[in-house]
Amino acid sequence: MSTPDADMAAFGEAAPYLRKSEKERIEAQNKPFDAKTSVFVVHAKESYVKGKIESKDAGKVTVKTEGGETLTVKEDQIFSMNPPKYDKIEDMAMMTHLHEPAVLYNLKERYAAWMIYTYSGLFCVTVNPYKWLPVYNPEVVLAYRGKKRQEAPPHIFSISDNAYQFMLTDRENQSILITGESGAGKTVNTKRVIQYFATIAASGDKKKEEQSSGKMQGTLEDQIISANPLLEAFGNAKTVRNDNSSRFGKFIRIHFGATGKLASADIETYLLEKSRVTFQLKAERSYHIFYQIMSNKKPELIDMLLITTNPYDFHYVSQGEVTVPSIDDQEELMATDSAIDILGFTADEKTAIYKLTGAVMHYGNLKFKQKQREEQAEPDGTEVADKAAYLMGLNSAEFLKALCYPRVKVGNEYVTKGQNVTQVNNSVGALAKAVFEKMFLWMVVRINQQLDTKQPRQYFIGVLDIAGFEIFDFNSFEQLCINFTNEKLQQFFNHHMFVLEQEEYKKEGIEWEFIDFGMDLAACIELIEKKSSVKTLALLFANYGGADAVVSMIVISSYFVSCRYRVLNASAIPEGQFMDNKKASEKLLGSIDVDHTQYKFGHTKVFFKAGLLGLLEEMRDDKLAEIITRTQARCRGFLMRVEYKKMVERRESIFCIQYNVRSFMNVKHWPWMKLFFKIKPLLKSAESEKEMASMKEEFEKTKEELAKSEAKRKELEEKMVALVQEKNDLQLQVQALEAKIKELTERAEDEEEINAELTAKKRKLEDECSELKKDIDDLELTLAKVEKEKHATENKVKNLTEEMAALDETIAKLTKEKKALQEAHQQTLDDLQVEEDKVNTLTKAKTKLEQQVDDLEGSLEQEKKLRMDLERAKRKLEGDLKLAQDSIMDLENDKQQLDEKLKKKDFEISQIQSKIEDEQALGMQFQKKIKELQASLCSFPCLAQAQLRQEEGTGVRELEGEVDAEQKRSAEAVKGVRKYERRVKELTYQSEEDRKNVLRLQDLVDKLQMKVKSYKRQAEEAEELSNVNLSKFRKIQHELEEAEERADIAESQVNKLRVKSRDIHGKKIEEEE
């Protein structure tokens, strides 16, 4: 239905971009058109072109295009053209012929005239103009407010207003889905939808500026509009196809109160493309905020963030393009900065946002290098790290340490691990993406907090804007998720819309055919959604539901039928006779020459297939043209007859006037006529005075009546105003009461349902209560039994606790013993240090006493092992301290006896020394053999000494018996030590404290090994030192035997206690169960 040009004046300068003028529409209707020969034909380059059919032959059609080209194609490659009156039609569902070339041609013609919005049935199609058009001005918003869809040209404002009106009238939440490929204009239309709601539903309540906190806040509608520039700065970027592509999805809920005024808003975001922070293709760039900051519109940001104005100085933001011709980064920075202020961010929060953004830029410049001969990375300079750490509020050294040597949790402990250069760079990239994402999500949370005004909410309108479908040269997992979401949304769209159509047909009793629509995408979606044998891949899409049911599209389009087409055959429906509407429609359509398979009757409607409605419209237009022509002919005949009658009357009037003039000329000189002319004026003057007097009386009466009527009129007007005001007030009260009645009725129904549910739940709970009472009685009996067993168990635990206390006292005593033994070992170390000082002066006698030095090395090695075993045993000994002290006294007695034996051996050694000098030559021959036997001599020092003495000479044979005895004792001691080591290892796993002490002792052992190596250079007094060490070895051997006995006793006691503790713990668990 066309709107006159006068009505389009309300749209201002936007009118030419919304609807063609009346003149254009009339010119289009008068264009010559042949419906039989005008067609669209398939073309190799242009897809479809206009043409005229010249001939048809054997399934082939020859068409001459508008460009003068002649094409011969199959019949299924030509499509009928719509009449010119459908050119640039606003709703393509109204076209006579609905097919692909007709739709594309209409969109192309409207786009060429900069009419970017077109309806397609229930939907609005938008074509991105890639230029600014004045179709979003404030006067356009006001022009669409409260207008029905058919009353105004297609526009996103019309869709928004319809959703708003439906929300108020139906009292239901509404959603607007804005979908399309990347670059289709989704983000701009989302902003326009928000702009429309913020304008028509503005609450008008201003927020006070909080100067004390440094906030500059705007109204709620200003904040809702300002949320978009801020999110676009941090979430939009240039891609191959779109200079301002949204790299995240958002669902904006705009909440309204009961009266339709803005109440609050909130935003949900999805699928932020984090990988763009660290990587871009050549024809793309990173998020706008980085380039806005470097535009130098606010130089203080450059100084605060320690950056430059050259994007190529920062690797993360310069891998693709750095400028976009269609975007002014300086103006966008000011818009972003202003949006932050309007949204109520504090000065500290604003500074933190900029600093974190700058830190992400510096992350890309961090450099690391490989350490020489190691697979470990280290920083290659700290200047960049210092800047990034400063902006993040971190310590630079700790920051670099965390990157190169991160702490990893293994079990219940944290372990420091090393990383190579590649691993560190990956960590830096992951850190940059995580910081940017968390900052973005935090901003969304802060925006939602600011938009939440705590005002009462009644309904909301949701606006969905997701990242568009796009295919890059290099596609990340995030792009796969974006494309997958778009396909799922398209499937939901098909399913939602066509199921409604099916329900309409089912309600009307219409049989229809299905066309599979969407199976091409369903297979791909099902492939991704179905469970995978690879658990990691299955988890990636775990949040998506299963595959939807197959969606079908119905070929038939529905329209309402009225008496509009009765003009086609008025005689089919008799006048003055009642007839059912359905029968009348069947009779009317049956009498018209159309294909009767192209329509079907429902219970209340007639459904036409695509194209039939246009044919009926053409037939109606032809019939109307015929009727109008006949009407015009009759009207013209009537008008001519009226004109002819007037001409006849004029002629008769002329004849009458001529007769009267001739008669007057004959009598004007007659004397009596002259007297008549003189007397007649005198008669009129006398009568005029009487008439004047009567007229004055009538005037006075009329004046009085007028005054009375005027007073009465004013009184009635005042009464009418009061009554109108009272009527309006009553109407408002009635409306309010009706709304309350409806609301109370709904509440009553809900409460009745809730009451019924609660009654059912009450009965169910009563049944459960009775069952629970029985269970409680049984449990009380069981609880009494458990209480008795609990008391018995507590007594056992008390006894065990006392035993454990006694063991703790024993352990304390052993700790004192440990300190005493440590002092003894320290004394031994001091003696070794003294001997080490003497070694430097004894290098001349090295070759003579090689054998004694080797013996000393073996004994020291044995002492080291024994000392390690003793240190381990000290922490586990749980024997009695008095027994240990007695054993020490026995050891002192043994020491005195050993001193006497040592004196005897000194005398024997002095005798042997002279023999050794005689047999020195023979000893040199045995040097090679001595070196080969050194490995075995280390573990068996006494045995090696006996063998060496035997090889050197017969003088040593006198000590052979004593050496054999020492060898046996050493072998027995070694066996005992091994046995004790096995037991100590078992105990080591049972205590964490033991493990730490072992590590400390290991360090001490390493130091002793270094010292032992230096003893090889000893020359003099080696034999004496060997004997001293031998006596110490015997002393320690006795101590080890006694310690082994005490350890066995303690071990058996601990095992008994553990068994008891486990039994008690098991009984407790059984009782609890």
Tell me if 275 sits within 8 A of 476, measured CB to CB.
yes
The reported pLDDT for the residue numbered 557 is 33
How far apart are the C-alpha atoms of 579 and 573, rounded to whole Å? 8
pLDDT at residue 940 greater than cutoff 50: no
The reported pLDDT for the residue numbered 785 is 76
Mean pLDDT of 661-682: 82
Mean pLDDT of 1027-1033: 67
Task: Pick the more confident residue, 558 or 104.
Answer: 104
**What is the per-residue pLDDT across 419-461, written as a single tens digit (0 to 9) for each?**
999 999 999 999 999 999 999 999 999 999 999 888 888 889 9
Mean pLDDT of 1022-1035: 65
For residues 996-1030, one letter each, b for 16 or more C-beta atoms within 10 angstroms of the residue's C-beta and e for the rest, the string is: ebeeebeeeeeebeeebeebeebbbebbebbbbbb
Distances (CA, A) of 610 to 417, 598, 621: 71, 8, 18
The reported pLDDT for the residue numbered 989 is 55
How far apart are the C-alpha atoms of 877 and 875, rounded to whole Å? 6
Phi, psi at residue 486, to the nearest 5°? Answer: -60, -40
Q: For residue 178, give the H/E element and its range.
A: strand 174-178
Tell me how many degrees the CA angle 433-439-440 measures, rounded to the nearest 5. Answer: 90
pLDDT at residue 1059 greater than cutoff 60: yes
| Percent of the chain topping pLDDT 70 | 68
**What is the per-residue pLDDT across 64-86, written as a single tens digit (0 to 9) for each?**
998 888 888 998 889 999 888 88
How far apart are the C-alpha atoms of 25 and 153, rounded to whole Å? 14
The reported pLDDT for the residue numbered 476 is 76
Task: Pick the more confident residue, 256 or 766.
Answer: 256
Picking from 947, 930, 918, 894, the residue whose alpha carbon sits closest to that of residue 1016 is: 930
Picking from 1035, 1005, 1046, the residue whose alpha carbon sits closest to that of residue 871 is: 1005
Q: How confident is the model at residue 212 (pLDDT cuts 50, 70, 90)?
A: very low
| Least confident span in 10-24, 29-43, 756-770, 948-962 | 948-962
pLDDT at residue 965 greater than cutoff 70: no
Distances (CA, A) of 420 to 278, 406, 429, 434: 20, 12, 15, 21
Tell me how long the chain is. 1073
The reported pLDDT for the residue numbered 554 is 29
Q: How confident is the model at residue 759 (pLDDT cuts 50, 70, 90)?
A: confident
**What is the per-residue pLDDT across 539-553, written as a single tens digit (0 to 9) for each?**
555 544 333 322 222
**What is the per-residue pLDDT across 680-704, written as a single tens digit (0 to 9) for each?**
777 666 667 777 888 888 888 888 8
How far apart are the C-alpha atoms of 69 and 312, rounded to whole Å? 53
**What is the per-residue pLDDT across 456-510, written as a single tens digit (0 to 9) for each?**
888 899 998 888 777 777 777 777 888 888 787 777 777 666 666 666 777 777 7
| Least confident span in 142-151, 673-682, 986-995 | 986-995
Residue numbers belonging to the annotated binding site: 180-187
pLDDT at residue 977 greater than cutoff 60: no
- For 627-646, give the DSSP string: HHHHHHHHHHHHHHHHHHHH
User: How is residue 167 written in tokens?
Assistant: 């929300």
Q: How confident is the model at residue 558 (pLDDT cuts 50, 70, 90)?
A: very low
| Least confident span in 279-283, 895-899, 937-941 | 937-941
Residue numbers belonging to the annotated binding site for ATP: 180-187
Picking from 406, 394, 395, 396, the residue whose alpha carbon sits closest to that of residue 430 is: 406
**What is the per-residue pLDDT across 405-424, written as a single tens digit (0 to 9) for each?**
999 888 888 888 889 999 99
**What is the per-residue pLDDT across 882-929, written as a single tens digit (0 to 9) for each?**
565 565 566 566 656 666 666 665 566 666 655 566 655 565 665 565
User: How is residue 222 written in tokens?
Assistant: 């200003």
Distances (CA, A) of 847 to 438, 854, 921, 1020: 75, 12, 11, 11
Task: Pick the more confident residue, 1048 or 721.
Answer: 721
How far apart are the C-alpha atoms of 284 and 585, rounded to whole Å? 61
| Percent of the chain topping pLDDT 90 | 26
Contacts for 168-172 with beta carbons within 8 Å, 24 or more apart?
168/260, 168/459, 171/459, 172/459
CB atoms within 10 A of CB 114: 14
Q: How confident is the model at residue 937 (pLDDT cuts 50, 70, 90)?
A: very low
The reported pLDDT for the residue numbered 353 is 96
Q: How confident is the model at residue 783 (pLDDT cuts 50, 70, 90)?
A: confident
How far apart are the C-alpha atoms of 62 and 746, rounded to whole Å? 67
Mean pLDDT of 780-801: 75
Question: Please, what is the average pLDDT of the chain?
Answer: 77
List of residues 6+ apart from 486 with CB closer than 8 A: 179, 466, 468, 469
Residue that the structure tokens 């409604």 belong to: 500
Characterise 836 by phi-psi region: left (phi > 0), alpha (psi -120 to 50), beta (else).
Answer: alpha
Tell me how many degrees the CA angle 348-353-359 measures, rounded to the nearest 5. Answer: 120
| Least confident span in 204-208, 284-288, 336-340, 910-914 | 204-208
- For 568-595, give the DSSP string: G-GGGS-TT----HHHHHHHHHHTSSS-
Mean pLDDT of 601-620: 75
The reported pLDDT for the residue numbered 930 is 58
Phi, psi at residue 178, to the nearest 5°? Answer: -115, 105
How far apart are the C-alpha atoms of 875 and 816, rounded to whole Å? 11
Tell me if 377 sits within 8 A of 369, measured CB to CB.
yes
